[in-house]
Amino acid sequence: MTDIEIVENASVTQIAQFIETALRNALSANDDPVAISVPGGSTPFPMMEELVKADLEWSRVTVWPGDDRVVPEDHEASNTGKIRALFEPVGAHVATLTVMEQVPHFALVWLGMGADGHIASLFPNTDPKADDPAPIRRLTPDPLPPEAPFDRVTLTMPSLLNSDALMFVIRGDDKRPVFDAAAAGESDLPVARLLKAARQKVTCFT
């Protein structure tokens, strides 16, 4: 397991600036395209709204949803549709998750976490593995979250780990003990499995 840096009480601007710096460094390293993965849900979008104000060479950036609900992109539950609406106007490319997509190496993978320890749509019932041979899977959470009762398509653990850096944004008093236990190796939840397998820098903003 890698060391984890915890940044307490981080502001939206602070988190957006962290991502901007990671992107700027990746873009300046060479002329290759740069890929990042971002989460869905309500928490990340204010940070993304701040991030897209950055003066970056967005045309070289591809933004990958870490997961999505299996719904049309114009559905209110679609992460991809909301991400596309933010990033495409500044010139970035936004990937659509299908099980046939070729997943790149990521400069940064940004994750949230549920109170049940799920990351992306790798819920405890899906028994995610760090050596999963598939880069993307379609699956069904059990129990289905009542606010989003849909099948999911998600990057698998090896795809998330194929990155230069990992970052989490953990909001909510019920989530912090779950993350801390996972970081200490005291659980076998999906987030704990990811952290156990991670060898890159992990930054967690609370």
The answer to whether the peptide bond before residue 33 is cis (omega within 30 degrees of 0) is no
pLDDT in tens, 150-202: 999 999 999 999 999 999 999 988 999 999 999 999 999 999 999 999 999 99
pLDDT band at 1 (very low <50, low <70, confident <90, very high): low
Domain ranges for the chain? 4-205
pLDDT, residue 112, reads 96
The DSSP code for 28 is: H
Q: How far is C-alpha 200 from the chain's CA centre?
A: 15
Strand partners, 153: 68, 138
pLDDT of residue 173: 87
Determine contact, residues 165/107, Cβ cutoff 8 Å: yes
The answer to whether residues 162 and 130 touch, using CB atoms and an 8 Å cutoff, is no
| CATH entry 3.40.50.1360 includes domain 4-205 | yes
What would the pLDDT profile of 32-58 be if each residue is shown by its tens digit? 999 999 999 889 999 999 999 999 999
Instruction: Determine the pLDDT at residue 101.
Output: 87
Token pair belonging to 47: 């940070």
Residue 99 confidence (pLDDT) above 90: no
What's the pTM value of the predicted model, to 2 decimals?
0.96
| The two three-digit tokens of residue 90, written as one number | 């500044």
What average pLDDT does this structure show over 84-91?
A: 98
Q: How far apart are CA 112 and CA 43, in angstroms?
A: 8
Coarse DSSP helix, strand, coil percentages of the chain, rounded to the nearest 5 percent: 30, 20, 45
Q: Per residue in 55-77, pLDDT tens?
A: 999 999 999 999 999 999 999 99
